């Protein structure tokens, strides 16, 4: 245990670790090199020790086992993590900006009276504090923030660090919570999976993505026509799904699907970090947006600053003409 | 069920964002404000719960930005009470400081359920909703898309969103705080005439809660727009010309056959 250590919360999904965990370990490795501390990976739940080989980037892997951690609920997870953080006293705690992270990180910060920074893309040492660069206002701004106190609870945006091949000591420690974990007032009941039958956008070669620029439900038909001309399917960013204009199975991004099509045509999508997380692996990204500063242009290969509603019919026509 | 909804004003990202000369904050004098999107969903969810099972909806907000219009709109949609908290200064407080003052305002309301948008795009220090839960000493779960009354009295069922359109159904004993990502249905439209009607009849309640700045745990030293796009090759011309060029690119890559 050292006040210079960096602790990473390793999230698992099913039997596998979440991809973002490896990004956090890379970030932790880089920061620990600067602080002179070790990287600690904490994995919560029965069977967590089985993840130890995959977490070898860390120097110590702390697997906390308790039946109450078998399925996610906020209170046991936050309590178990708090116990480890209080015991280890790390310089920083890295938690991914995920559904679990958005519960656990602020609860941990509140209970420890520790600083919390969200949307972190980069971390470095700054004297006796830390400096983080964080996404702000949907990625339209970046903020350099100084975090003065330890432990700094840092919520990391997925995609900010590349996984590393470095390895640490990889020592496994298996622990049980010192006191039985309380179930809390919020209990997991069951997983609900999307209904089968809709298009599986993760299997499409061509995706026509619509964002806020679609403006109204009726305009989705224009995107459907374009997708049909291209032999693909329509997907969407979160606001479109929130409006009920497309089902959740068509949502791309952090809380939706991760897609890697051959073509991702982003129409009226601003490209907030949460959306980019789901689509930046596409082979070819063409973005259309009236806002020249839209973050989507940062990940697109080609861009056009025009209104999607004007472009869609013209593009459908141009594609049809190509096909003869 | 007595429900409190917290609503926040955030800069409208459709408008250009300016930075103050010191470079460490947004110039809010030049920004226009809108209701935080997930707070709008929180309000909608509260109204749906009230319509399904009775009770009341109280909407609480800091007196900042275009909040009066937001609160009158909430009444026009079906909220029963609107409460304003004085907010001196040019900038809204950090999430943690906000949570303390909201908690002070909410405690006397004998609330069973507090709904808050899970995230606001102008927060750097974490979500208001979990900090509010901590300040109220209530249980919390966030990233919720959909809430129903529970099978047992004094409970609700909330669906927590995970990647891949997967949901975890959670049983929640009340009182509790939920961070709402999306309501069971999109926020309702309300005609301007009803908002005008609410302006004539609805009365703000002024909360005695006072805002106090806590210890500065996170300080912004520089705010700046990301470097201009470096990867995208921008296509120019009329819509037809751009459409033709895109079709050409797709044909070159074998994506149009």
Interface predicted TM-score (ipTM) of this complex, two decimals:
0.91
- The class (CATH top level) of A6-175 is alpha beta
Helix (H, G, I), strand (E, B) or coil at A266: strand
Contact residues, B window 133-192, toward A, CB-based 8 Å cutoff: 133-135, 139-143, 145, 157, 159-174, 176, 179, 181-182, 185-186
Using a CB-CB cut-off of 8 Å, the residues of chain B touching A13 are 162-163
- Average pLDDT of the residues in B71-77: 98
Residue B182 lies in a domain: yes
CATH code, domain carrying B44: 3.40.50.620
CB contact under 8 A, B232 and A287: yes
Using a CB-CB cut-off of 8 Å, the residues of chain B touching A193 are 166
Using 50, 70 and 90 to split pLDDT, how confident is the model at A151? very high
Q: Flag whether pLDDT at B204 surpasses 70.
A: yes
Residue B256 lies in a domain: no
Residue A131: CB atoms within 10 Å: 16
A168 phi, psi to nearest 5 deg: -105, -160
- Average pLDDT of the residues in B95-110: 93
Domain residue spans of chain A: 6-175, 201-323
Using a CB-CB cut-off of 8 Å, the residues of chain B touching A187 are 170-171
Tens digits of residue pLDDT in A274-302: 899 889 889 999 999 999 888 899 899 99
The string of DSSP codes covering B92-119 is: PPPHHHHHHHHHHHHGGG--SEEEEES-
Distance from CA of B176 to the nearest CA of A (A): 8
Q: Which of A145, A188, A323 sits opposite B256 (nearest CB)?
A: A323
In the numeric block, which tokens belong to residue B154? 């004094």
**Nearest of A28, A24, A145 to residue A96 by alpha carbon:** A24
Q: Which of A243, A247, A311 sits opposite B239 (nearest CB)?
A: A311
User: CATH topology of A6-175 equal to that of A201-323?
Assistant: yes
Instruction: Give pLDDT, residue B190.
Output: 95
With CA atoms as reference, the chain A residue closest to B19 would be: A141
Tens digits of residue pLDDT in A127-137: 888 999 999 99
Higher pLDDT, B131 or B164: B131
Higher pLDDT, B215 or A151: A151
Give the number of domains in chain B: 1
* Mean pLDDT rounded to a whole number for chain B: 92
Q: pLDDT above 70 covers what percent of chain A?
A: 99
Distance from CA of B71 to the nearest CA of A (A): 21
- For residue A221, count CB atoms less than 10 angstroms from its CB and return exposed for 0-12, middle for 13-18, buried for 19 or more: exposed
- Measure the CA angle with vertex B37, ends B34 and B41; round to 5°: 130
Q: Of A94-108, A275-289, B131-145, B200-214, which gets the smallest average pLDDT?
A: B200-214
A122 phi, psi to nearest 5 deg: -150, 145
- Measure the CA angle with vertex A103, ends A100 and A109; round to 5°: 125
Residue B97 lies in a domain: yes
Per the structure, the complete domain to which residue B18 belongs is given by: 2-207
- Average pLDDT of the residues in A191-195: 88
Using a CB-CB cut-off of 8 Å, the residues of chain A touching B253 are 262-263, 284
In the numeric block, which tokens belong to residue B252? 């070159």
- Average pLDDT of the residues in B107-115: 95
CATH fold of the domain at A201-323: Rossmann fold (3.40.50)
Distance from CA of B201 to the nearest CA of A (A): 30
Q: How far is CA A198 from the centre of its chain?
A: 24
Q: Does B20 touch chain A (CB under 8 A)?
A: no
Q: Which of B16, B127, B145 sits opposite A106 (nearest CB)?
A: B127
Instruction: Give pLDDT, residue A219.
Output: 96
- A-B CB pairs within 8 A amount to 275
Higher pLDDT, A214 or A198: A214
Using a CB-CB cut-off of 8 Å, the residues of chain B touching A188 are 168-170
Beta strands B81-85 and B56-62 are parallel
CB contact under 8 A, A318 and B247: yes
Q: Helix crossing, B192-201 with B67-77: angle to 10°?
A: 100
With CA atoms as reference, the chain B residue closest to A120 would be: B124
Residue B194 lies in a domain: yes
Instruction: Give pLDDT, residue A324.
Output: 78
Tens digits of residue pLDDT in A215-253: 999 999 999 999 999 999 999 999 999 888 999 889 998
Q: Flag whether pLDDT at A183 surpasses 80.
A: yes
Tens digits of residue pLDDT in B13-57: 888 899 999 999 999 989 999 999 999 999 999 999 999 999 999
With CA atoms as reference, the chain A residue closest to B166 would be: A193
With CA atoms as reference, the chain B residue closest to A296 would be: B229
- Average pLDDT of the residues in A89-99: 96
Instruction: Give pLDDT, residue A2.
Output: 66
B198 phi, psi to nearest 5 deg: -65, -35
Residue B255 lies in a domain: no
Higher pLDDT, B172 or B95: B172
Q: Return the residue matching tokens 């609330």.
A: B111
Q: Flag whether pLDDT at B229 surpasses 60.
A: no
Tens digits of residue pLDDT in A156-177: 998 889 999 999 999 999 999 9
């Amino acid at each position: 245990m050292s006040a210079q250590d960096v602790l990473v919360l390793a999230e698992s999904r099913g039997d596998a670790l979440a991809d973002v965990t490896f990004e956090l370990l890379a970030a932790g490795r880089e920061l620990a090199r600067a602080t002179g501390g070790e990287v600690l990976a904490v994995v919560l739940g029965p069977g967590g020790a089985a993840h130890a080989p995959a977490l070898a980037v860390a120097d110590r892997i702390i697997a906390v086992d308790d039946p109450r951690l078998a399925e996610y609920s906020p209170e046991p997870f936050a309590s178990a993590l708090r116990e480890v953080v209080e015991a280890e006293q790390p310089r920083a705690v890295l938690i991914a900006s995920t559904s679990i992270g958005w519960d656990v990180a602020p609860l941990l910060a509140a209970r420890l009276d520790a600083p919390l920074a969200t949307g972190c893309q980069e971390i470095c040492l700054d004297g006796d504090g830390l400096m983080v660069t964080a996404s702000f206002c949907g990625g339209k701004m970046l903020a350099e923030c100084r975090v003065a106190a330890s432990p700094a609870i840092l919520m990391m945006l997925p995609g900010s660090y590349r996984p590393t091949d470095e390895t640490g000591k990889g020592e496994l420690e298996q622990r049980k919570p010192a006191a039985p974990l309380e179930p809390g007032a919020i209990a997991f009941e069951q997983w609900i999976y999307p209904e089968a039958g809709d298009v599986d956008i993760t299997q499409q070669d061509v995706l026509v993505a619509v964002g806020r620029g679609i403006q109204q439900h009726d305009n989705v038909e224009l995107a459907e026509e374009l997708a049909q001309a291209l032999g693909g399917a329509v997907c969407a960013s979160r606001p479109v799904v929130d409006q009920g204009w497309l089902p959740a199975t068509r949502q791309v991004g952090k809380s939706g699907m991760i897609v890697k099509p051959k073509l991702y045509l982003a129409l009226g999508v601003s490209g907030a970090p949460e959306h980019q997380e789901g689509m930046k692996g596409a082979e070819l990204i063409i973005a259309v947006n009236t806002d020249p500063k839209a973050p989507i242009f940062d990940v697109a290969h080609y861009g056009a600053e025009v209104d999607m509603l004007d472009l869609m019919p013209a593009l459908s026509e141009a594609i049809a003409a190509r096909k003869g | 069920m007595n429900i409190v909804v917290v609503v926040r004003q955030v800069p409208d990202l459709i408008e250009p964002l300016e930075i103050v000369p010191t470079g460490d904050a947004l110039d809010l004098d030049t920004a226009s404000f809108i209701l935080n999107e997930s707070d709008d969903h929180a309000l909608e969810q509260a109204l749906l719960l009230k319509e399904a099972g009775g009770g009341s909806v109280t909407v609480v907000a800091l007196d900042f930005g275009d909040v009066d219009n937001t609160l009158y709109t909430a009444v026009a949609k079906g909220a029963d009470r609107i409460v304003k908290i004085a907010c001196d200064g040019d900038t809204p407080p950090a999430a943690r400081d906000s949570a303390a003052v909201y908690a002070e305002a909410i405690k006397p309301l004998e609330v069973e359920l507090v709904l808050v948008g899970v995230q606001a795009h102008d927060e750097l220090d974490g979500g208001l909703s979990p900090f509010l839960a901590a300040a109220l000493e209530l249980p919390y779960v966030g990233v919720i898309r959909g809430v129903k009354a529970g099978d047992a009295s004094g409970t609700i069922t909330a669906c927590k969103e995970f990647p891949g359109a997967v949901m975890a159904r959670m049983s929640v004993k009340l009182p509790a705080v939920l961070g709402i990502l999306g309501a069971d249905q999109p926020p309702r439209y309300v005609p301007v005439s009803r908002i005008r009607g609410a302006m004539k009849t609805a009365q703000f309640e002024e909360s005695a809660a006072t805002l106090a700045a806590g210890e500065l745990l996170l300080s912004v030293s520089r705010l700046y727009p990301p470097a201009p796009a470096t990867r995208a090759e921008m296509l120019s011309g009329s819509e037809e010309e751009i459409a033709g060029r895109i079709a050409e690119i797709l044909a070159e890559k074998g994506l149009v056959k």
